[in-house]
Each structure stands twice: as C-alpha cells, then as structure tokens.
Structure 1
Amino acid sequence: MSERLIKVLIVDDEAIVRNGLKKIINWEKIGCTICGEASNGKEALDKINELFPSIVLLDVTMPVMSGIEVLAEVHNNPKNYPGNPQFIILSGYSDFDYAHKAINYGAKGYLVKPVDEDILEEKIIALANEVRLESETNTLRTKSNKENLAKKFSQMFLFGAVDDAFNPEEDSNDTFRVAFISPVLCGCEGQLQSLKFAIEHSFKFCKFIYFSMEAEMILVLKNEEDFSVEHNFNALCKALQKKGSIAAIGKSGKGLQGALDSYNQAKKLYSRLFFFENIPFITEENTDSKTILPQKPTPSEDVNLFSCIGDLVKYIEIYDLENIGKIIQEQREALKTSTKTADQVKKICMAFIVELSNQIRTKHPEKELTAVSAMDLVNLIYSQNYFDEMIRIVSDYTNGLAEAFTSNSSNSTILKVIQYVKSNYNTDLKLEMLGNLFNCNSAYLGKKFREYTGVPFNTYMDIIRIEKAKNMIATTDLKIYEISKLVGYSNTDYFYLKFKKHTNMTPKEFKASQAKTQG
C-alpha cells in the first residue's frame, strides 16, 4: 500500500491466542503490521514505549499487571507514553464492570473471546482510519504552526527587534538557542532538501524550527540543555559525514529577546567559520578568542604580510625548510587573528604565492622550478572551504620551490615521472603503477612528488586534465562528455565537479565565456 502501515501490538498471556491473532487477519491488506507482542501488562508498557504502536490489542486478565491496570496507567500518565496508543480490549469475560472501566480509561472497543474475526477486522480498519486522520491533522497543524513561527522569527532577526514580529503576549520565559548552518560546508549547496532531512533526523527529539535566510540555514532550539545541543550537532555532522565546522551557535537566552541576542552572537561567530577546520561547530566557549574577536587592523597590516617574502626567498635558496615553516606559521597566525574576511584572506594568499613565484623566477631564471605554476593554484586556493586547507597549499607550494634548489638526485626521477604524466594524463594513472615503472616505492614517490610540485599527485592530475579540457572546449566542437573521456574522466558528472572546483565555472559556462571573448 502507498500509505504507511499502522503498527499493532498484541498483548495476551496465552501464546496460542497471540499466534492466532497474527494469523486470522491479513494485516498488510488492511494497512497494518504487527510490530510486537507482550505476555503481561508490565511487558506491554515497556513495548509501548519501545515500539510506539498506534493500536494495542489488550487482554484483561494477565499476570504481573492486568489489562485494566495498563489502561489506567496510560490514561493517567499520558506524558510517559507520547505515542498515544489506541486500545481494543479482548476479554474472556462479558462482565459489564470490566467493559465500563475499559471505556472510561479510553478503550476504543471491548470484544469478548472467542473473537469473531470479521468484527475484529472491521473494528481495526475503522480505528486505523481514525489514527491516520488524526496523524494527518496533527502533522498539518504542526507544520502550519512551525511555518508561522518561522516567519515571525525570521522577521525579528531581519529587523533586529522583538516587537517588529511578535506581540507582547507571545513572549515567554522559554530558553532559546540559535545556530547558523552553512549549506556549502555541509556539502548541500543546491540540495537543501538533503540538509533539511539531516536536521530533522538529528534533532528529532528536540523542540526546534528551521528556515533559510539568504544563503544560510537558521536553526532555533527551544529549552534544550547545552550538552543536548552539542550532542545533536555532532550527530548532524556524522549524518552529513563532515569533520570541519559547519555551524556557529550562539549562547542560550531567555525569552524572545534572548533568542535575538543568541542570533546576533551566532551571526558574528558565523563570519569566522572559515578559520575552524577541526571542530564540527563553533561557540564562544570552544574557540580561541583571538580568532573569534580579531584584533583591530593596523595601517601596515597588509604590508607586513608580504614583507617576509625577501627572507622566504633566501631560505628557499638554501633549502631551509625549518625557517620556511616558521615564516608560513607566522603568516598563518597573522591572517587568522586579523580582521580579514575569508575572501580577503584567500586573495591575499593568491597574491602571496604569485609574488613569491615572480621573485624566485626573476632571480633564478635558469632554474627548473615546480611543474605547477602559481597561477594554476589560484582557483584551487579560492575553492577551499577552510583556512588551514588553503595554508597547506601555500606551504606545499613554497616547499616545492625550495626542492628545486637541492642537489637531490631524486629530482631527476620526479622530472621523468612528471613528463610521463603529461604524456599519459588521459589514462588511469596511479602512484603504485608509476612506482613500479620507475623502480621506487609508491609512498616515497608520492611524498617527493608533492614536495617538488607543491600539490598531491591526484591534484596535479586534475590540474593537467582540466587545462587540457579547457583547451579542447575553447578550440573544438566536441561534446562535453566526449572531452571528459578524452582527458581521462570516465564519469561526466565527476568531470563537471572537478572542472568547477578548478575554474569556478561549469564546462558550459566556460565555453560561453570563451565565445564572448572571441566574439
């Protein structure tokens, strides 16, 4: 059936009765499924909380706890049984007192054993329809309430005032905590439905609403303890298979003004999300205050970032990796604690690499420098989601320049490998195969390749292939899928992904830009 199956729990102390009830009705045909069974009242209560059945077929006379006692417990303590099960009593007694008590405790029917299967089936079908209708009504009501509430919170956050969105009587002493979630860092850019599903699954036991504001997803949590919020955000990262920071969370606040304060703090934290790669979310408590609250800029801030290039060139010439590492680390700290935005930092690093490369090439035109040019890395830097990913590219590239100044004989092998890769880029090249071909350990070859070129082997392969693809797109009438295969990508979707990562354009957008240039 297209509609969901209604879960039914069978409770009777006689196994023969339980087995008979499972067989006398074609449960799936009437839109139901047997989710479990219990042999006494206490076990029934445990199963109700474990399995959340919608309908319970309940015997009256049982050991440990009777059916009437089960009804009384659920009726008197509804918060302990949030599934709100509906009961049909199956009893060997036609006693009016039993029936009267059962109905008073909310039973939807009282049938005397042996049960007529047609009457039982008719009763269950009617009750299942009631359950479905109630469920649909509650879902629509809840959805409508959440949508209205989301609009009000969105308006309050947008205009920055509680009374712009809520009436005074709508305020409360509830505690709110607001989070900014990045669809891009979640890997859900253009796929918000996937992110929504992950949020609903990860926070299913919380009271919350969520909605989009500009490019971000806003999550508002109500009356949740800090440990619960952190636990559920860890679950969200696990569901999305993400290790870096994907969200910024403000502090808890009382009432609607507290929610607004939490939003403003989360927004401030969110602007620094780029700088945190190793934690799933950031709060004021779990981050370095110098990074979250950067220092005021100085007039010479930009100059200082480039004043080290002269020293860096000297250390590159003598292959002093220790001092090269120190300079890169100093620049890392200066950038991370500056007031620069993510885009500004990326542009500085791009300019840094280009200027360093120009100074080295101007001073040593005779040198065979790294196979990957500084310009090839510009788009790669800009596509990085986290600060330390970008710094690793800068560091690898700088160490690769230094490698060109060593007398290490392994360079000749690397040059041969690079030449072979350039000639065979459209084949399925692996480090293991190249290691066998050039008589060296694949792990060692990968390490030396990265030191020499400044990028990992797979990244270098992508750079070579994408450059070839760009040339084909610009100079031929071949289809995109044909070019994809010609440059070594058997999967066209994967080719699209790699092309956009390295050029910030899809192949079709690149072709259109070339047509405009030539036109």
Structure 2
Amino acid sequence: MMNVLLVDDEPLVLEGLRTMVHWGKFGFQVCGEALSGAEALNLIHRLRPELVVTDIHMPALNGLELVEQSKRTMERPPKFVILSGYDDFGYALSAMKQKVAEYVLKPIDEEEFEAILQRVGASIQAESAAQRTENRMHSLFLNNLLNRLIQGEADEGLEQQAARALHVKTDAELRCLLVETDIGSADLRERLQLLFPGAVDRSFQDNAGRVGVIVPTEECSADRLEEIGLALYRDLTGSLIRPVIISFSDPLSGVRSIRSLYLQALEVSKSKRCQGKEGLFFYGCCRKTPEQRADHDEKIKRLAESVCAGLSEAVEGQVHDLVASFASGFSDIEWAKTRIADLELTLCRRISEMNGTPGPLMARIREQHGSLGDIKDYPALKAYVGCLCAEAGALLLLLAKQNENNTIFHVIQYVDREFHAKLQLQDLSRQFHMNATYLGQLFKKTTGKTFNEYVNEKRIEEAKKLLKRTQAKISDVALKVGYPNTDYFISKFKSYTGMLPSVYKGQWENRQADQ
C-alpha cells in the first residue's frame, strides 16, 4: 500500500478526507494527519509518504511553501495534490511551477478526486518500478567498483567513480560495517538499506557472501552506527538467524582506504567466527598491531631454532607459549595453521639439508593427529605442534651425529646460515681447507646445484618470505638477503620467479584479502 498524508488547518476537512474517500480502492492508506504546514513538514520527513494531500491556505507555512521546502530538503519528496478554495490562476500557476501532481478546487467532487487518485497512484507505481530498476543497476555497478577496490586495484579513475557512486568526496572519512550470517545477501542488503533511511545505497557483497556497507562518518556517528548494528542484530536473531557477526572498522580517510576498511572488518569477523562468538565487534577494541604479528613470527623462528639445536626442554615451553598466544589473541585458527605450516616447511627443509627424509616423519605425525588442514581447535593444534617438534628434534639429532665428519654437510650448513652475507667459493675453500674446484664439484654433486645457483635460490626464497610478511621496501629486502645492488636483485628475482618483486608482493596481498 502507498501512504498518504492529509494536511488541512480545519479538522472537519481532515475528517471528511479520511472517511469519505475510498483510499484502499486505489492502493492508498492514510498514514497521518496534520493541522499546519510546519507539522506536516515534520511528518513528511518522519513518515516518508508517497502522497501528500494539502490545503493551500494555512498559517505560517502554506501548502505551496510546504511543497517547496519538501523538495528542497528531501532527495525523494512525495507527490502533492493541492486543495484550494480559490479559483485563482496565480495559485494554479505557482503550483504548476512547483510541479505538483494535481491542483483541485474545493468543494471536492468525489468522482473527480477518485480519478485523480487513480492517475497519481499509477504514476507513483510507475516511478517506483523505474526507481527499483535504477537501484538494481546502481547496486550492481557499485558492488563491482567496491570489490575491485577491496581486491587491491588502485587507480585514480576508479576511486573517483566509486566516490560518485557512493555520493561522497574522494577524501571523505569512512567506516565499514560487515555482516556475516547465513541469510541471503539480497535480503540482508534490503534490511540494511531500511536502517539507513534516505541514504544512497552503499552496500556490497564480497566473494564469500558477506554483506558490508561503506558509511561516511559525517552522515553517521559512531554511536548511531552502533545503534544501527544493534537494531540489525536484534532483527536477525529475532528471526532465529544464527550465528550473526557484525563487525566495524576504524574510521579512515579517503575512498582509497576502502580496502583497508574492509580488511579490518573482515579480520574482526573471521577472528570471532573462529572463537565461536557472535554479536557486535569493533576493530579498535581487539586489533593486532604489526608488533604483535611480528611477535608470532619471532616465536615461530625461536621454536624452529630450538628444535634444530636439540633443546627439547625449551621446545615444550615454547610450543605452549606459541599456541597460547594464538588462542588468546586475535588470530583466526586458519591463519595460525598457516604459520604452523611454515614451521613444518622449515623443519622438513632442515631434515633434507642434513641428508634425511622428512616424508616418513610427516606420515607418522598425520597418522597420530590427522592432517594440519583438518584441525579445528587450539588444543588439537597444540598436540600436533608438540608431536611435530618432538619427532623432528629426535630425527635431526640422529642426523647430526651421522653428519659430524661430513665436511660438505658443514659447508652447506654454513651457506644456509650466512647466505645473506658476501659469499665466495674461494673464501669457503680456504675456510674448510679444500680445493676450490673440487669443493664446487662436490657441492653440485651433493645439492644438485652449482654454488651460485644454490646461494641465489636461498636468497630469493628468503626475499619471498620478507615480501609476504613485511612492509619493507624492495631495496631493503634486497640488502637483507645479500644483494647490495637493488637492480641486480630485481633481475635475479624475476629470473627465478618469473615476476618482479613488486608484482609478487601485490599478488600475495590480494590473496590474503580473498581469504
């Protein structure tokens, strides 16, 4: 049904309009009545009627002024039917200039008025259908723009397009509200739109089906945004939709920050889902700093070093500390498992470097604890890591005894530790008291690679890790892995990986955003 607001300063006229006209016959229902133009303007903003039937002569704010102010202050004002007791062409001309739907003289002829309602109702419905089509097209267009920004596409033209579609300035301060639940995305976007009345649709759906909204802070304060989130949570949980996780980003400036806004909200959502929680959550209340993330990496590194050094007493405490930091912090267990996968890879490589075979070791661990990918909780992850470290430590200790007198093994160990320094085969041959040519031949026979190939591969693998996990500049990464010349590093990186370091870093960041 379409809503109609009745406005006249005479109560008897209002009563007659309400009771004598068959509103429902033409798809209308009376949603309110007002005795003055000022009261009517407030009701128009609050009730959002599709049609207003108003007298032209009222004190303070007359009917034509009501039309003018409504159109000036509202993006989508209602249609107006003007009632007048005066057959004055000047009034009719003013009404025409305001583009009112109809101008009717009192006393009202019932048949004439019903014909007006039929015409106006058909016009409102046609415009509503056209508006729905336009809204769907806008929604698809905006969804495409926002997902391109979320995926890391950075382009000034794209940002300007997004700003126009969002109806914000390119440097506007924004936040992101993200909803994760089982409800269909179309229904969820409609519910969200109802909570932002009068605002342009700024919602989107990510590639995992989550629904988000980009919110300008100048239009919606943090308190108001929290109220909207609570209203949505009550609506969804009241409909027996569970679980519901609603996450909020911090405010950031500029359309180019949309990717960061989304990633903040996504990080909150994934963490709370992993912990089995639901409700409203803010990024600022529980975010991980870069220092805290670096702390996890440092714990992994120290644990691997302790396992390789055979420090079994230290390993047990380090395993407990590492998994506890994952569980009590802000880490999604899927992210924690990727860090443990890195530990696995480090230990397996170490076993291979010491002429061991890691395959049987990993098979035994999986037989006892299942695969790492299937682990669902932190106690199971702790048992898995503890077994991995104990088994790997025992095997490495055995291999170390077997390799004590193997000179080439010690050379390779030295290269593995010092690859970031300036290494020359001639220097190594003197250090280990071997002929340089013979050392080079033995090195290739043992590793399957020439000395230079082996060193370059070690450096490139380390560079890939730094590009994934840090925000260091390309030149800094080059220096850390043993290439004082950045251009030479870029050339070597491309020859080994097929892409430039900057492209590799960008691809990894995009992959992280998709998870």
TM, length-normalised to structure 2 = 0.53
Contact 2:287 2:330 in 1 (8 A): no
Equivalent runs, 1:247-396 vs 2, <5 Å: 247-273=246-272, 274-275=274-275, 277=277, 280-287=280-287, 289=289, 295-296=296-297, 297-299=299-301, 301=303, 332-333=324-325, 335-337=327-329, 341-342=333-334
Residue 139 in structure 1 maps to residue 132 in structure 2: yes
Residues 10 and 56 of structure 1 are in contact (CA less than 8 Å); yes or no, is this contact kept in structure 2?
yes
Report the Cα offset of residue 221 of structure 1.
0.9
The question of whether the paired residues in 1 share the 8 Å contact of 2:21 and 2:110 is answered with: yes
Given residue 283 of structure 1, which amino acid in structure 2 is its aligned partner?
A: Y
Alpha-carbon distance in structure 1 between the residues aligned to 2:261 and 2:279 = 20
- 1:144: how far off? 0.5
Secondary structure, aligned partner of 1:230 = helix
Letter in 2 for 1:54: E
Q: Which residue of 2 aligns with 1:509?
A: none
SS across alignment from 2:284: coil
CA gap of 1:71–1:133, structure 2 versus 1, over 3 A, is: same
Q: How far 1:90 moved relative to its partner?
A: 1.7
For residues 142 and 332 of structure 2, what CA distance do their matches in structure 1 show?
35
What is the match of residue 449 of structure 2?
A: none
> Secondary structure of 1:29's partner?
helix
Partner of 2:60: 65
Residues 291 and 337, structure 1, Cα contact 8 Å, conserved in 2: no
Shift of 1:284: 3.4
Residues 1:37 and 2:30 aligned together = no
Aligned to 2:73: 80
Does residue 142 of structure 2 align to residue 149 of structure 1?
yes
Q: Give per-residue Cα distances to partners, 1:99-135, cap 9 Å, x unaligned.
A: 2333333332222221111111111211111111122
Write the deviation string for residues 76-110 of structure 1: whole angstroms up to 9, x where unpaired: 46353445122222222212233233333333222
The separation in 2 between residues aligned to 1:221 and 1:135, in whole angstroms, is 25
Q: Could you tell me which of 188, 202, 223 is aligned with 2:216?
A: 223
Which string of whole-angstrom CA distances, capped at 9 and with x for unpartnered residues, describes residues 316-363 of structure 1?
Answer: xxxxxxxxxxx9999644633496734857999xxxxxxxxxxxxxxx
* Count of aligned pairs: 335
1:94 and 2:87 aligned: yes
1:282 partner letter: F
Q: 1:252 and 1:142 mapped to 2: Cα distance?
A: 27
Output the amino acid matched with 1:143.
R
Amino acid at match of 1:14: E
Matched position secondary structure for 1:88: strand
**Contact 2:247–2:280 (8 Å) recurs in 1:** no
State whether residues 180 and 217 of structure 1, in contact with CA within 8 Å, keep that contact through their aligned partners in structure 2. no
SS in 2 for 1:295: helix
- Partner residue of 2:108 out of 107, 115, 137: 115
Contact 2:147 2:206 in 1 (8 A): yes
Seq. identity, % = 20
Aligned to 1:298, the other structure's residue is in SS state helix
Q: 2:229 aligns with which of 210, 228, 233?
A: 233
Question: What is the match of residue 401 of structure 2?
Answer: none
Q: 2:462 is matched with which residue?
A: none
Task: Provide the residue aligned with 1:175 in structure 2.
Answer: 172
- Asked if the contact 1:160/1:260 (under 8 Å) is kept, the reply is no
What does residue 370 of structure 1 align with? none
- Which digits, 9 at most, give the CA deviation of each residue in 1:452-493, with x for residues without a partner? xxxxxxxxxxxxxxxxxxxxxxxxxxxxxxxxxxxxxxxxxx
The 1:72/1:58 distance shift into structure 2, 3 A limit, reads: same
Displacement of 1:9 in angstroms is 1.5
Q: More deviation in 86-95 or 117-126?
A: 86-95
Distance of aligned partners of 1:337 and 1:39 in 2 relative to their CA distance in 1, 3 Å threshold:
closer
User: Within 2, Cα distance between the matches of 1:163 and 1:192?
Assistant: 29
Q: CA offset at residue 283 of structure 1?
A: 0.9
CA distance in 2, matches of 1:126, 1:222: 38
Query: Per the alignment, in what secondary structure is the counterpart of residue 210 of structure 2?
Result: strand
Unaligned runs of 5+ in 1: 312-326, 349-377, 395-519
User: CA-to-partner distance for each residue in 1:6-37, whole Å, 9 max, x for gaps?
Assistant: 21122222222222222332211111111121
Is 1:55 the counterpart of 2:47? The answer is no
Which residue of 1 is the match for residue 204 of structure 2? 211
Instruction: Give me the TM-score of the superposition, normalised by structure 1.
Output: 0.53
The question of whether the paired residues in 1 share the 8 Å contact of 2:202 and 2:214 is answered with yes
Name the amino acid aligned to 1:160: E
Contact 2:5–2:31 (Cα < 8 Å) also in 1: yes
Of 7, 10, 16 in structure 2, the residue corresponding to residue 14 of structure 1 is 10
- Matches of 1:245 and 1:31 in 2, distance apart? 37
Aligned-partner Cα distance in 1 for 2:292–2:115: 67
Contact 1:49 1:83 in 2 (8 A): no
Task: Describe the shift of the 1:43–1:240 C-alpha distance in structure 2 as closer, same or farther (beyond 3 A).
Answer: same
The answer to whether structure 1 residue 162 and structure 2 residue 158 are counterparts is no
One-letter amino acid of the counterpart of residue 113, structure 2: L
RMSD: 4.6
Q: Which has the higher helix share?
A: 2
The answer to which of 121-130 and 236-245 deviates more is 236-245
- Whether the aligned pair in 2 keeps the contact of 1:210 and 1:218 (CA below 8 Å) is yes
Change in Cα spacing, 1:47 to 1:54, as seen in structure 2 (3 Å) is: same
Structure 2 SS opposite 1:284: helix
